[in-house]
Structure 1
Amino acid sequence: MGERIKVLLVEDDGDSRELLAELLEPDFDVITAVDGVSGLQAFENDHPDVVITDESLPRMCGTALAQEVKNREPRTGVVLVSGYSNVDAGCCDEVLRKPVDVERLSDVIGRLGEAARH
Structure 2
Amino acid sequence: MSMTVLTVDDSRTMRDMLKLALSEAGYNVIQAEDGIHGLEVLQGSSPDVIITDINMPRMDGFGFIEGVRRDDTYRAVPILVLTTESDAEKKSRARAAGATGWIVKPFDRAKLVDAIRRVAA
Do both proteins adopt the same fold according to a TM-score greater than 0.5, normalized to the shorter chain?
yes
Aligned residues: 112
Gaps of 5+ in 1: none
Deviation at 1:9, TM superposition (A): 0.5
Give 4+ residue runs of structure 1 displaced > 4 Å after superposition: none
Q: How does 1:59-70 map to 2 (within 5 A)?
A: 59-70=58-69
3-state SS, counterpart of residue 7 of structure 1? strand
Percent of paired sites with the same residue: 30
**1:19 aligns to 2:11 (yes or no):** no
Which residue pairs with 2:94 in the alignment? 89
- Give the residue type in structure 1 aligned to 2:84: G
Instruction: Summarize deviations over 1:54-101 as a string: whole Å, max 9, x none.
Output: 101111111211121122121101000111122121110001111112
Show CA shifts across 1:1-57 (max 9, x none). xx2111001111111111211111122110111111111111111111111001011
Give the aligned partner of residue 117 of structure 2. 110
Q: Are the equivalent residues in 2 in contact too, given 1:6–1:48 (CA < 8 A)?
A: yes
User: How far apart, CA to CA, are the structure 1 residues paired with 2:101 and 2:119?
Assistant: 9
- Give 3-state SS (helix, strand or coil) of 1:55's partner: coil
RMSD: 1.2
Which amino acid in structure 1 is aligned with residue 79 of structure 2? V
Q: Say which structure is richer in helix.
A: 2
Amino acid of the structure 2 residue aligned with 1:76: V
Q: Which runs of 5+ in 2 are unaligned?
A: none
Normalised to the residue count of structure 2, the TM-score between the two structures is: 0.86
TM-score with structure 1 setting the length: 0.88
Task: In structure 2, give the amino acid aligned to 1:16.
Answer: M
